[in-house]
Amino acid sequence: MLTHVTTFLFDSFDVRAATRLRVTAKHDSLGLPTRFQFECDLNMSSRSRQAAARTRDKWREKVWYQILAPHYFEEKAIGDTPAGDPELLIGRTVQPTLYDITGDFDQIHVKLRFRILEVTGQDAKTVFHGHEWSSDYLRGLVRRGTSRIDWIGPILTKDDYLMRISVIVFTTTRSKTSQEHAVRKAIERVIVAHAKKHTFDELVQKVVLGELASEVNEEVKKIIPIRECEIRKSKVLKGPEEVKARRARLRRGGQKQAKA
């Protein structure tokens, strides 16, 4: 009986299908598969091939765009991304390292975050959205018999960008509570002063490239001996339009309270 059915299938269908049916028949304890079951298998296989073809066609339609760093990082190429429509790229974030921009391997632990702002031709232009040091690198800075002092606070740049800055300090000895308070006050004084006199573009360069951390270091070491002082994280919270809108709301709220 098995030989007869197999011969029939060789006549009606291709060799590969008949082989698959023969293998199925050997393991089917309820009897041989019907022709209906076999045709269902063929239909499912056909649908799978059509779905795969559609997927391949979608990728063929996509165009690759080159992602560029902001002009204050010399518009270095930091990657490529595909898209079927350039409008879909707006708002996407990319996360290169500082090594990708400077070529300095010692800065590979600094992770940057850029957001695509506009697409011109096949170039996707970005704006800085934040940075962060890798947690593995920070763990490697911890030493016994020393203290870690953190400062986190919001700052407003000269051109009304609201950012959050995180500074980390590692001392050479155990610090006292009074020293930690003094260190945080010194950090805040330096960071806020620079934010008031620099635009967003200028401040980002100082933050990411370490210039601002060096100036903080000079002030902090007057209070306590330190081993490391770095700006480990930054994030852009609001742009100028949002900041101005918030000011206007607060101003209107204050006027209503004064009238009341």
Q: How far apart are CA 68 and CA 80, in angstroms?
A: 9
State the maximum Cα–Cα separation within the chain, in Å, rounded to a whole number. 99
Looking at the fold, whether 172 and 119 belong to one and the same domain comes out as no
- 40 in any annotated domain: yes
Any idea what DSSP says for residue 108? T
Tell me if the pTM is above 0.85.
Answer: no
Any idea what DSSP says for residue 71? G
For residue 44, count CB atoms less than 10 angstroms from its CB and return exposed for 0-12, middle for 13-18, buried for 19 or more: exposed
For the record, the structure tokens of 56 come out as 């391949």
pLDDT one digit per residue (tens) for the chain, 260 residues: 444 444 444 444 454 444 444 444 444 444 445 554 555 555 556 666 666 656 556 667 788 999 999 999 999 999 999 988 888 899 999 999 999 999 999 999 999 999 999 999 999 999 999 999 999 999 999 999 999 999 999 999 999 999 999 999 999 999 999 999 999 999 999 999 999 999 999 999 999 999 999 999 999 999 999 999 999 999 999 998 888 888 788 777 766 666 65
Amino acid at 220: V
Structurally, the chain folds into a number of domains equal to 3
Task: Give residue 35's domain range.
Answer: 2-49
Looking at the fold, whether 78 and 44 belong to one and the same domain comes out as no
Closest residue by Cα to residue 156 from 252, 71, 236, 216: 236
Looking at the fold, whether 121 and 164 belong to one and the same domain comes out as no
Looking at the fold, whether 93 and 175 belong to one and the same domain comes out as no
- Label residues 104-123 b or e (16+ Cβ within 10 Å = b): eeebebbbbbbbbeebeeee
Q: Which residue has the tokens 């598969």?
A: 33
- Helix (H) / strand (E) containing 216: helix 211-220
- 260 in any annotated domain: no
